[in-house]
Amino acid sequence: MHASTAFDPWPEKYDQWFETPIGKLIREYETELILDMLRPLKGERILDAGCGTGIFTRNVLAAGARVVGLELSFPMLRRAGEKLMDPAFAMILGDMKRLPFKDHAFDKSMSITAIEFITDARCAVDELFRVTRPGGLVVVATLNRLSPWATRRQRSGKEGHTLFQDVVFRSPKDMERLASEEGICRTAIHFQKEEDPRRAIEIEGEGRSRGLDTGAFLACCWQKP
């Protein structure tokens, strides 16, 4: 399946997952980490590359930023537009390896769980840096290769799941090497998909207090010089 259509059947299933008890908890923790790194401010122009259905875009808009959501899958992008209905949100169908924007067009750039579907991830990160103004932030999140979540999805790909057949998961060290600048990487989601939500909260607290780098959600932040 071509990358541009791989996610076309998934908008509804993707959103439904985040409405399950464990999915809601995961969305809360992932959003918290993203916002802590991105620090969106009122009036800023922010790129969300690979915005999907706008799950994480919503919170950036709520901070008062203007967001351009770029997505390769039209059904995913259409779903984002239907959900957000915000004049501060603009949608563009496009490829994050070849961003259709001028240099320094954004105050900040983010890409959440899209980089694992790109083999040449350095090219995509270079593009995010290119369109971000000097002094701006670039935040990229992915599924951590050190987590059992990644192992499980790789196994699904080998068993025929089309979405994960060509996926490339990266470790914190791998992600750090995607940019020339020194960055900060942190992880969240230290529990498993099948965990009881109440126990998951305890496990997450333990993982954070120990500073573990094996959480399933891996987010890295760089500041453009």
Measured CA angle at 73 (ends 71, 76), to 5 deg: 85
pTM: 0.94
Q: Is the pLDDT of residue 101 over 90?
A: yes
The whole-number pLDDT of residue 3 equals: 54
The model's pLDDT over 160-197, given as tens digits with 9 standing for 90+, comes to: 777 778 889 999 999 999 999 999 999 999 999 999 99
The whole-number pLDDT of residue 212 equals: 95
Inter-residue contact 9 to 30 (CB < 8 Å): no
Q: Which two tokens stand for residue 168?
A: 């490339």
Q: Which two tokens stand for residue 165?
A: 């057949």
E strand residue ranges, the chain: 45-49, 66-71, 89-93, 106-112, 132-143, 184-188, 217-223
The whole-number pLDDT of residue 4 equals: 54
Q: Is the pLDDT of residue 152 over 60?
A: yes
Q: Is the pLDDT of residue 6 over 80?
A: no
The model's pLDDT over 51-96, given as tens digits with 9 standing for 90+, comes to: 999 999 999 999 999 999 999 999 999 999 999 999 999 999 999 9
Task: Tell me the angle at which helices 197-210 and 21-38 cross, rounded to the nearest 10 degrees.
Answer: 30
Task: Give the distance, in angstroms, between the CA of residue 83 and the centroid of all CA atoms in the same chain.
Answer: 18
